[in-house]
Structure 1
């Protein structure tokens, strides 16, 4: 499921921005389909502009019935009556999805150990100081088993001891949920850390549910600002 909101606060209309002759949204949709790992790919949108963009290019789309605070809320409404087990949330502003990280993400739900996983997500290493300090890049700290400890727009961990070289991870906006966990998420009100950071997955942590984090081996670009679009053009 690809949640798609037209009026993004930092970059209004970004999903319709052109990237190599195709909209950001259609890059995301087409790359999700091309992975071949999903039974179905559907855009859940709040705008006729986005709906028509997807349908006119042969894709599947549906409207949200009401306004939502987050993408997870939007897709939870869409899957509530669907007979599914695992739901993957691919943000509409992540146009360069590939097969390998999607497979790795879904594999954490397999086997005995996977039975305890309720939510999983992707991350990649951050190396450049400007991005570590940039609040548009959400950072994640993990335990030794790669379960999330905290998400923040601030650099985490704080680099106090300069003799130690910490690893910084950027959270990539791709989630996989068990349907029941996703529906629970939408029944909870926004939590204090989530409200302060404007990072929706903090709601899970504040209810005691860690996210199993998967290190991605590809470099992606999330388009939050016009500057990110320029980076995406170079990457493309």
Structure 2
């Protein structure tokens, strides 16, 4: 747990039952435990978080979370975005100054990466958000619109996020393009304002919610990593993760 008393950082793990490709994914058993329990146990290893909770709109997930010892928060099923659900859940933590949104389908997430993300945000009061990116090495990833790219300023802040290749390489690249990874940290006061803002033109064009922050002048710090955790979007990916976990143990 964090020793810094000037900040109160919470980690929230959103977990929804509904999934067109994989209904009930959060409770799918992997190596003897529900998927969301693996995520929670990883997050519990973080040293910079003062509290951790699973935010869900489903009673089955809520009950399962409580059964394995997690704090669970029931949220409305009607939120238009994950950020709105996060803003509702953070109201359960009046002392929270910062919140880290951790994907509920990444059972191999690196706790040290979460700590680095939290530290990056609290170390600069001018930042509104922080997130993570890694180098892209595969050509097919550059052309995949489902893999979001990010371009950075020299200070590490995000200049733009896009489903297209950015920057365009008219000349040989001097650095690899970067893939955005969907883990975020927010200042609490910024998050509460952010969800009240209307969707913005670039956000709607790219279908990327984080562009709303940039279009409103917010600073998003991007930390770099070589670690890309394996997400679970299909039963086949769940089997792959299970083999990795069994080999670890």
TM-score of the alignment, normalized to the shorter chain, above 0.5: yes
Residue of structure 2 in register with 1:17 after alignment: 28
Q: Note if 1:47 corresponds to 2:58.
A: yes
Q: 2:101 aligns with which of 70, 89, 110?
A: 89
Cα deviation per residue 1:79-133 (whole Å; 9 max; x = unaligned)?
A: 136221111111112222223212221222345xx11111111112221223333
What CA distance in whole angstroms lies between the structure 2 residues aligned with 1:227 and 1:194? 32
Q: For 2:66 and 2:193, how far apart are their aligned partners in 1? A: 30
Name stretches of at least 5 consecutive residues in structure 2 with no aligned partner.
Answer: 1-11
Cα displacement string for residues 173-212 of structure 1 (whole angstroms, at most 9, x for unaligned residues): 2111110010011111222332333322121112121310
Q: Matched residues in 1 for 2:161 and 2:219: separation?
A: 11
Looking at structure 1, the residues matched to 49 and 223 of structure 2 have their Cα atoms a distance apart, in angstroms, of 18
Instruction: State the partner residue of 1:28.
Output: 39
SS state at 1:108 partner: helix
Q: Which residue of 2 is the match for residue 140 of structure 1?
A: 150
Alignment of 1:94-109 (within 5 A): 94-109=106-121
Gaps of 5+ in 1: none
Equivalents in 2 of 1:235, 1:126: separation in Å?
Answer: 23
In structure 2, C-alpha distance between the alignment counterparts of 1:226 and 1:134, rounded to whole Å = 22
Which residue number corresponds to residue 3 of structure 2?
A: none
Counterparts of residues 171-210 of structure 1 (less than 5 Å): 171-210=180-219
C-alpha spacing 1:125/1:225, structure 2 compared with 1 (3 Å):
farther
RMSD (Å), alpha carbons: 2.3
**1:140-189 Cα distance to aligned partner (Å, 9 max, x none):** 1111111111222233223343x335422222221111100100111112
Residues 13 and 129 from structure 1, CA distance in 2 versus in 1: closer, same or farther, beyond 3 angstroms?
farther
Paired position in structure 2 for 1:71: 82
Aligned equivalent of 2:228, options 213, 219, 223: 219
User: CA distance change for structure 1 residues 107 and 225 in 2, over 3 Å: closer, same or farther?
Assistant: same
Query: How many aligned residue pairs are there?
Result: 233
| Mapping of residues 112-151 of structure 1, within 5 Å | 114-151=124-161
TM-score by length of 2: 0.83
* Structure 1 residues 167 and 57, CA gap change in structure 2 (3 angstroms): same
